[in-house]
Amino acid sequence: MLHYIQALLQQMDLSSALDAALRVVSVMLCLTIHETCHGLAALSLGDSTAKSMHRLSLNPLRHIDWLGLLMMFTMGFGWAKPVPVDPRYFKNPKKGMALTALAGPVSNFMLAFSLILLSKGIYLYADYTLVWDVIFNFLLSTAVLSIGLGLFNLLPIPPLDGSKVLGALLPDRAYFMLMRYERYGMLLLLLLSFANVGGGLISRAIAAVYTAMINLLY
């Protein structure tokens, strides 16, 4: 009996360690794709700042902010090191910033779509094994995380991407006023998270987008 309990505890520890490791991989994948696409969008619009600072990379260590990563696990949201963007290189700075910002969330939705499509391939063509089961669940859970990251960043609160998109629709005076308070945006996000304001709405939005993708692909 004692041996059985010890074996069960070891299995639980291994399972927890595997779950934690896969969670880290998921977060790093979603954040890395998000930030790299910001840089690629800026480059396509004439700003090579991210390229010159070696931020057009799929190496997650170039993008990870360790405090932001910790917040992702403990608070349910987090951040990476922002890709440097210089709007002076854009022909239309406000529009260029909006398109550069929008590239991050769009990349997360595209990543989620691709992961769900891969999971369908496993579902249809792979024989059931423990390894394929782990991969299948990893793909779907990462898709949910990527959708969540994309939707969260579309909130029109500085410094999130949604504020840059909103800014393109505002008069210049209102735009600069919005950007002036960017430094306080993260504090506001932390307060909203502690107060659990809007969490249910975001969760429902994530579920709706995920369900729509599943229904489209399955």
Q: Residue 138 in contact with residue 22, Cβ under 8 Å?
A: yes
User: At 95, which amino acid appears?
Assistant: K
Active site residue 35: yes
- Cα–Cα distances (Å) from 132 to 123, 143, 212, 216, in that order, read 9, 16, 24, 22
| Nearest partner of 154 among 34, 33, 26, judged by Cα | 34
**Cα dist. 21→26, 27, 30, 123 in Å?**
9, 10, 14, 23
Q: Of residues 31, 33, 35, 146, which has the active-site annotation?
A: 35
Residues identified as active-site: 35
